[in-house]
Amino acid sequence: MPSKKPASISSHSTRLTEAVIIFQRSLTREFSAIGGAVIGILVAITVVQQLVMLLRRATQGSVEPEAVIVLLGFNLLGYLPVLLALALFIGILLALSRSYRDSEMPIWFSSGLSIIAWVRPVLVFGLPIVFLTALLSFVLTPWALSESAEYLRLLKGKDDISRLSPGSFIESPGSNQVFFIDKTSDKESELNTIFAQYVQGERTGVVVAEKGYQQIGPKGEKFLVLERGRRYEGTPGALDFRIIDFERQKIRIEAREAKAEEPNSRRLSTWGLLSQPTPERIAELHWRLALPIAALILALMAIPLAFVNPRSGASWNLILAMLVFFLYYDLLKIFEAWTSQGVIPMWLGLWPVHVGMVATLLVLFSRQLFTFRWLAFARK
């Protein structure tokens, strides 16, 4: 008989371990489902917000209509590291909070498991997202910002006619040419009902034509060829005012110079930041490193923050979690600005914020461990 007791204990321990593994796997699947839903909602909100902003700029003429979708993709890549960190945090928090409310977690704790046991499923789910956040932060986001700036620069360098759309006025870089078309033809390269105003020396001319098209000269110069129109030269009422009908006339189009953008640390590659270490660039490097570190810390912090009283709602700890997230984010931005301005040493950077959050994480874990041990002792 004495030999059966250890075997029984061993069998019970094995069954408990198997049950814990099954529960942790189901919890990981729940992390994925909720985290996927959260990132989907966050991306949708970001896309709508960015789309509205870009469409507003397109109607104002500061962004070309055909550039909206491309710029939307580049902008989304810039937001993804922060969105992934938030989705990871909220996904784990909501899944664990549900387990607390349904009294699943207290059952496991009463069987002798510690809150530390839930670190493993959180890391299994969270580490791939942390690595993806690092890839975005160090590689893809700087590339997207750089490509976006280059794309806008090339668009600004396009000639005036290629930027014309029906019902809009386009002014040349030197402000001495203004073009307007009422409508486009069925032919892609042909324009209908064209209005053009130009300045040559001290004379101002206005041209109205039935149709026109763009022509490229032998040296690459561009012309707007107008057909069946009328030209008004000079000031109406003056002696030199003239009205001339024509069958065909050329107006040279001024090319826009595509000016290079000022260097921006946000658009530089990570190697570019390291090659010339200035306070601004080191601050940007700290920020890129901070995003995956923050994602990992927040994922672990969701474990103690998920604790809820089954009799209360889940809104309180969710509100607290959002406050923690935005406080963390704002502190990182403040320390990034201080590093960039030289207020704090470059080597220190954003690390005080991370150290403070890790200390807070340890305090929360210690508090939860003490609470569950006290409850277990009280039951005895």
Average pLDDT over residues 257-264: 59
> Is the confidence at residue 39, as pLDDT, over 70?
yes
Burial of 247 (0-12, 13-18, 19+ CB in 10 A): exposed
Cα separation, 26 vs 314, whole angstroms: 21
Say what percent of the chain tops pLDDT 70. 68
Mean pLDDT of the chain: 78
Q: Using one digit for the tens of pLDDT, what is the confidence trace for 152-169?
A: 777 765 545 555 556 566
pLDDT-based confidence at residue 292 (cuts at 50, 70, 90)? very high
Average pLDDT over residues 264-270: 86
pLDDT, greater one: 99 or 103? 99
pLDDT, greater one: 152 or 279? 279
What DSSP character marks residue 268? Answer: S
> Is the confidence at residue 179, as pLDDT, over 80?
no
List the domain boundaries for the chain. 4-156+262-379, 161-252
Q: Using one digit for the tens of pLDDT, what is the confidence trace for 74-95?
A: 999 999 999 999 999 999 998 8
pLDDT, greater one: 101 or 371? 101
pLDDT at 259: 54
> Is the confidence at residue 15, as pLDDT, over 80?
no
> Is the confidence at residue 64, as pLDDT, over 70?
yes
pLDDT at 4: 47
Sign of the C-alpha dihedral computed for residues 311, 314, 320 and 325 taken in this order: positive
pLDDT at 12: 46
pLDDT at 263: 66
Cα separation, 160 vs 168, whole angstroms: 12
Strands 222-233 and 177-184: what pairing?
unpaired
Give me the DSSP letters along 281-350: HHHHHHHHHHHHHHHHHHHHHHHHHT---TTS-SHHHHHHHHHHHHHHHHHHHHHHHHHHHTSS-TTTTT
Average pLDDT over residues 351-379: 77
Say what percent of the chain tops pLDDT 90. 30
Q: Using one digit for the tens of pLDDT, what is the confidence trace for 310-327?
A: 555 557 778 888 999 999
pLDDT, greater one: 177 or 339? 339
Average pLDDT over residues 101-128: 73
Strand partners, 181: 194
Sign of the C-alpha dihedral computed for residues 25, 29, 30 and 36 taken in this order: positive
Average pLDDT over residues 133-157: 86
By the 8 A CB rule, do 245 and 230 touch? yes
pLDDT at 1: 42
> Is the confidence at residue 234, as pLDDT, over 80?
no
pLDDT-based confidence at residue 227 (cuts at 50, 70, 90)? confident
By the 8 A CB rule, do 20 and 113 touch? yes
pLDDT-based confidence at residue 148 (cuts at 50, 70, 90)? confident
What is the pTM (predicted TM-score) of this model?
A: 0.72
